[in-house]
Chain A
Amino acid sequence: MRVAHLSLRDFRSYTEVELPLDAGVTALIGPNGQGKTNLVEAVGYLATLGSHRVAQDAPLVRLGAERAVVRGQVVRDDRSLLLEVEITPGKANRARVNRSPVPRAREMLGILRSVLFAPEDLALVKGDPAERRRFLDDLLVLRTPRYAGVRADYDRVLKQRNALLRSGAGVRRSRQDSVDLRTLEVWDSHLSTAGAELLAGRIDLVEGLRPLVDKAYQAVAEASFASAGPAAIDYRSSLGEDVPLVADRDMLAAAMLNQISELRKAELERGITLVGPHRDELVLKLGPLPAKGYASHGESWSFALALKLAAYDLLRAETDAGGEPVLVLDDVFAELDGHRRERLATLVAGAEQVLVTAAVPEDVPEALTGARVDVMGGEVRRIR
């Protein structure tokens, strides 16, 4: 699939911009702060209804404007679809597909699929577990849009349950305690139902990614370092060591309830939920060692790229979903050494559509020669 035309209104720095795009590689070139990333961020927004840079929507709307509009003409399976989303901070997004409103913006998910590489990806390896959980969950939604609802439900139950635990944290051993516990059991059961569903989805996903990650790592890493051992991913759940990680929702829900009752005292004392997918970790390993803390800077980059490439491979393999996802490489080449830069460029060069941003043309590897658009002061100009 590809984006044939992107138009923005009051999005980030743009008052209004129209950007026609071809299949193959398009490089968006311009100095920092001129709005290159805003363009690819908008493509990502159409695919995920979220930004890779900020968690809130407010910064996406141009200062002084009330709402932003992102519009994309998407071509998949030779069919053309017009996606439109109107972003109003503090309110629900409004979306239209081919000019007809959809009841919830969420229903637009899955039409455009994109995989984005950005300097922030390094945090996948070096950052907190939350970064890796988000990577898994975002990919899960991209692959199966239904999970957007599962994820939202889980977050909501978790918030409610934490609020209840916090309210009980101060009043232990008082008479109110037993009443609180009865309500808590209700939240336990809702948490385990939603949690098991999310967990089952992640387990499935990790199984799908597992073989692809090492393949991608070997393809990206320098040959001499590749011998440091295979790159592997492992899911570590908060349900305890002896719970088999298979995508069986009923079993997982029961295991989760069990673990919740084991940790009841600790949860009441600390006033937070200690069991569930929000406490899990995707462990990255190079040979026998964990990547975090042991991998060099270059190895960490290779691993981050490998995760994203594996995600791309996984999505691409699903032939019924409208073809290859759109690849977006936002300012990554400047971060990579010469070798990784060339390897990555070669790996993605054949994709149906690749959008690259860079400050100077020299940052774009030769393998990715294609169309070029200059971005300057909120104006875009096609050069070739």
Chain B
Amino acid sequence: MYEGVVQDLIDELGRLPGVGPKSAQRIAFHLLAADPVDVRRLVHVLTEVKDKVRFCKTCGNVAEQEECRICRDPRRDRSVICVVEESKDVVAIEKTREFRGRYHVLGGAISPIEGIGPDDLRVRELMTRLADDEVTELILATDPNLEGEATATYLARLVKPMGLRVTRLASGLPVGGDLEYADEVTLGRAFEGRRLIDV
């Protein structure tokens, strides 16, 4: 245990995701030794990020204005919406440059253990968008784990009566890998592979 404010700093840093007690200590001592100007700049950015950044009123992505850059972009295809769990998933998909539609960020996945149900996600907002918009296809790009799959199934069932085309990202073999090195679950998934959600 360190005295007073140093320990406070270590405790606060330790609360960040992916930062354990040892890393928190290392970062704290790095900050103590750092140039005050650098630290002030960090403080400034931290305050600014909380003040300025908001969530897009349409899709829930991080934005600096009422709507995010993607929702404002008139060149984006308004007929397709890709549903993801987090903003960082938007960034990942954007990097592919394959997708020209718009997004909807749920803010997580259904997980009763953590007390997260559909009401805690931006599901109602999605339904409103689907009712108003000229959307014809919904791509479910939630994580390929149990909670992500459950969320995808839930949404697929929910929008089924609306008569949209509902698709789920394929899961299977990584590109550039060797078939023989794939584990059985992934390989099995790849076999089942091609999927058009059918509920």
Please give the residue numbers on chain A whose beta carbons come within 8 Å of chain B beta carbons, in ascending order.
103-104, 106-107, 145-146, 149, 153, 156-157, 159-161, 163-164, 167, 179-180, 182-183, 185-187, 189-190
Contacts and interface: CB of A to CB of B under 8 A. Distances in A.
B184 A157 contact: no
Nearest to A150: B185
Contacts of A145: 184
Contacts of B149: 190
A160 B188 contact: no
Contacts of B157: 182, 185-186
Interface string B140-151: 000000110110
Interface string B70-107: 00000000000000000000000000000000000000
A146 B153 contact: no
Interface residues of B, number: 20
A179 B118 contact: yes
Contacts of B111: 160
A163 B117 contact: no
B154 A186 contact: yes
A103 B112 contact: no
Given A107-B183, A161-B112, A186 B150 contact: yes
Given A146-B185, A182-B154, A156 B117 contact: no
B130 interface: no
B175 interface: no
B146 to A, nearest CB: 5
Q: Say what secondary structure dominates the interface of chain B.
A: helix
B110 interface: yes
A179 B119 contact: yes
A157 B146 contact: yes
A163 B154 contact: no
B113 interface: yes
Contacts of A160: 111-113, 146-147, 150
Nearest to A165: B112
B113 A159 contact: yes
B189 to A, nearest CB: 10
A159 B146 CA distance: 11
B163 interface: no
B36 interface: no
Q: Which 9 A-B pairs have the closest CB atoms?
A: A164-B112, A163-B112, A146-B184, A163-B113, A186-B154, A149-B185, A186-B153, A160-B112, A186-B150
Contact of B117 (A104, A149, A179): A179
A186 B110 contact: yes
Contacts of B117: 164, 179-180, 183
Interface of B: 110-113, 115, 117-119, 146-147, 149-150, 153-154, 157-158, 183-185, 188
B153 to A, nearest CB: 5
User: Chain B CB within 10 Å — which of A104, A146, A186 has the most?
Assistant: A186
10 contacts: A146-B188, A149-B185, A160-B112, A160-B146, A160-B147, A160-B150, A163-B115, A164-B112, A183-B112, A183-B154
Nearest to A153: B146
B46 to A, nearest CB: 30
Contacts of A103: 183
Given A153-B146, A157-B146, 6 more contacts: A149-B184, A160-B150, A180-B117, A186-B157, A190-B149, A190-B153
Contacts of A161: 112
Contacts of B150: 160, 186-187, 190
A183 B147 contact: no
Contact of B118 (A149, A156, A159, A183): A183
B145 to A, nearest CB: 9
A201 to B, nearest CB: 13
Contacts of A164: 112, 117
Contacts of A104: 183
A149 B153 CA distance: 21
A160 B113 CA distance: 6
Contacts of A163: 112-113, 115
Contact of A167 (B112, B118, B147, B185): B112
A156 B114 CA distance: 13
A100 to B, nearest CB: 11
A288 B184 CA distance: 42
Contacts of A153: 146
Contacts of A106: 183
A161 B112 CA distance: 7
Contacts of B154: 182-183, 186
B166 to A, nearest CB: 14
A106 B185 CA distance: 11
Given A149-B185, A167-B115, A190-B153, A183 B110 contact: yes
Nearest to B154: A186
Contacts of A183: 110, 112, 117-118, 154
Nearest to A107: B183
Contacts of B119: 179
B186 to A, nearest CB: 10
Contacts of A146: 184-185, 188
